[in-house]
Structure 1
């Protein structure tokens, strides 16, 4: 069995997260598989990410590389072929070009609240998402999450982050823009306000009536963005 496991691991790419169920052996022998994998960890052949989860490390000229974010959390994103979550937060900021900081705190958008967990050096927390999580929605939800957590974007000035967001939203087609406005209605008022201002900055004729109706005129949002970058801030109660 040991040789079967070693040959199977050799076929996996570096950084691929492995579980005992990935091996072509009887389910009754899963405990034996797990023992062999733990022995390989002790020998330095593979690394343990968390209980029952392992990976083959890749060594670069800069040292050992960790698995990519998707591999670390892939079991938390899909179950029985159905999407149950999506990578967001700091990882999304990095993917979208809003920051160059590489995170060790990972956030996953989910429909129902969950307690944070630890995997190796990674702390994984869960952000409740009120909208349906679908393949089509996820890119738009990641954009909206970037608006929601705008003030938490690290190592980036507000104007620079806003300029990048203006570019990203400018790449949406008509159907996506209409969809993102609907999805935003399930977000907090600050997100709705920032989206409205961004869409109007990009297109002064954009219909943002529904978004504006969601806001309380007595509430303002301090984001630190220059009026030269983001127009109509007063209309959207942004300071």
Structure 2
């Protein structure tokens, strides 16, 4: 079996829609691997999403290739780099519909290094903030607190506050309180008052 066949066989074992990288083929010469992956892209077997970022495509009979969203790509990159990420406050505000502006870039806070990755015509921006902005966690709770913090105590409206806080209702109360303690006092007070009102 040729090296190309071995690589192709391994890719076929990946789930459809799986995002992978050259690092997923340990022990294979990098230069040879890049040539093989380029050929597989040319043959339509895989899709190149960006530099060193590939997709084992999932296809729909009518639509064709189902491309992953930027969030999915970002999480795959974080998995590769073994770092934590979460949407920036501005990104979360846009995700929940509070902003009418269409973001040019998809922005994440990370405890890794700052970098910008081109995915087609889109860009994924990772802003390295050590652990400072990740102290609330990388899940939904942390993203919401970061969004509230990014608006600021003097700018946030009741509508924005109520919408963002309502997103915490489905989260475990103990986890919400634990994250809130790490937030600025004004945010902690907002969250505790919301929990009291919805109890």
State the TM-score, normalizing by the size of structure 2. Answer: 0.70
Indicate if the aligned counterparts of 1:18 and 1:53 stay in contact, CA closer than 8 A. Answer: yes
Q: Given the alignment of the two structures, is residue 23 of structure 1 paired with residue 28 of structure 2, yes or no?
A: no
Secondary structure, aligned partner of 1:123: strand
Partner residue, 2:175: 176
1:99 to 88, 97, 100: 97
Q: Distance in 2 between matches of 1:112 and 1:44?
A: 33
- After TM superposition, the runs of 4+ consecutive aligned structure 1 residues lying more than 6 A away are 100-104
Q: Distance in 2 between matches of 1:142 and 1:86?
A: 10
Instruction: Give the superposition deviation at 1:144.
Output: 1.0
Q: Distance in 2 between matches of 1:179 and 1:43?
A: 51
Secondary structure, aligned partner of 1:176: helix
Q: Given the alignment of the two structures, is residue 86 of structure 1 paired with residue 85 of structure 2, yes or no?
A: yes
Residues 54 and 115 of structure 1, relative CA distance in 2, 3 Å threshold: closer
Q: Given the alignment of the two structures, is residue 199 of structure 1 paired with residue 192 of structure 2, yes or no?
A: yes
Give unmatched runs, 5+ long, in structure 2: none
Residues 158 and 17 of structure 1, relative CA distance in 2, 3 Å threshold: farther
Indicate if the aligned counterparts of 2:86 and 2:134 stay in contact, CA closer than 8 A. Answer: no
Give unmatched runs, 5+ long, in structure 1: 152-156, 186-191, 205-239
Secondary structure, aligned partner of 2:124: strand
Per-residue CA distance 1:13-64 (angstroms, 9 max, x = gap):
222122223236x34x221121011011122221112222211222333443
Residues 21 and 174 of structure 1, relative CA distance in 2, 3 Å threshold: closer
Residues 183 and 116 of structure 1, relative CA distance in 2, 3 Å threshold: farther
Structure exhibiting the larger radius of gyration computed from Cα positions: 1
Per-residue CA distance 1:116-137 (angstroms, 9 max, x = gap):
3323233112343643748x82
Instruction: Give the superposition deviation at 1:141.
Output: 1.6
Residue-pair matches, total: 186
Partner residue, 2:46: 46
- Root mean square deviation of aligned Cα: 3.7
State the TM-score, normalizing by the size of structure 1. Answer: 0.60
